[in-house]
């Protein structure tokens, strides 16, 4: 299973309640479920939820989890009480939303004091590379609306009541894939034989230990994603909106 967040670094343990905000088809939900957590994913994309919700619930029942569900909703108005979750994941969302600070404040609201968050964004280096290769990457519907720098996100986390505790990098093998897609033009990329061949390679690579070692090396050179790990500071109130 291809995960962006390192669940060991996030310290996901049996009995934890974990929220995956922007869960897609639920890859991090499934990963956390296997580690003994009670999980809930939330996303706006109905197709992704249809693909993941039933298998997640089925796996949860098999493992005896009380909570293994996926809901439709957005990160600005989470349908949960304050301090509901021990662990929170928000992967590849902040580059899509206009008010990322408000999104982080809402994530802080539902994270218990001392709870942990992992938020991932594309690296600025990879984003600038794709931008140089064509405008489609940022102009396509649902595309990215900003390029983050790590300090920018870390400052926003601090303003939301989180203390950044670590940084990680992921998906070095995916950077060439998005280079190829950008060169082909995103609206036409899926028709490219080279893009399709590299996608097939990526699928096989996720199950290969040798490719895992290669990706670890590439993550030091050309990672696609950056992960900030943070802790909700007890007694810290998120900064109000400007």
Per-residue pLDDT tens digits for 104-148: 999 999 999 999 999 999 998 888 887 777 666 666 555 677 888
Q: What is the pTM of this model?
A: 0.90
Which domains, from first to last, does the chain contain? Answer: 17-231 (3.40.50.150)
| pLDDT the model gives residue 142 | 59
Cα separation values, 241 from 42, 103, 169, Å: 24, 11, 30
Backbone angles phi, psi at 26, to 5 degrees: 100, 25
Question: Taking each helix axis from N to C terminus, what angle separates 193-205 and 209-218, rounded to the nearest 10 degrees?
Answer: 110
89 vs 94: CA distance, rounded Å: 12
112 vs 216: CA distance, rounded Å: 32
176 vs 90: CA distance, rounded Å: 24
Q: Is pLDDT above 50 for 241?
A: no
């Amino acid at each position: 299973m291809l995960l962006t967040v390192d669940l060991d670094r996030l310290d996901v343990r049996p009995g934890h309640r974990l929220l995956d905000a922007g869960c897609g088809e639920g890859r991090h939900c499934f990963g956390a479920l296997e580690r003994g957590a009670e999980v809930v994913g939330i996303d706006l994309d109905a197709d992704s939820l249809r693909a993941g919700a039933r298998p997640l619930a089925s796996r949860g029942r098999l493992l005896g989890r009380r909570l293994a569900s996926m809901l439709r909703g957005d990160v600005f108005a989470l349908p949960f009480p304050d301090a509901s979750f021990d662990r929170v994941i928000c992967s590849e969302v902040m580059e899509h939303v206009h008010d990322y600070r408000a999104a982080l404040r809402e994530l802080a609201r539902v994270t218990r004091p001392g709870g942990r968050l992992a938020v991932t964004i594309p690296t600025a280096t990879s984003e600038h590379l794709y931008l140089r290769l064509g405008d489609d990457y940022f102009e396509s519907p649902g595309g990215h609306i900003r390029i983050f720098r790590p300090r920018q996100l870390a400052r926003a986390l601090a303003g939301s009541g989180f203390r950044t505790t670590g940084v990680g990098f992921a998906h070095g093998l995916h950077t060439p894939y998005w280079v190829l897609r950008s060169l082909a033009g995103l609206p036409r990329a899926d028709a490219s034989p080279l893009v399709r061949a590299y996608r097939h390679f990526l699928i096989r690579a996720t199950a290969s230990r040798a490719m895992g070692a290669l990706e670890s090396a590439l993550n030091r050179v050309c990672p696609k994603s950056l992960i900030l790990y943070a802790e909700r500071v007890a007694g810290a109130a998120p900064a109000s909106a400007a």
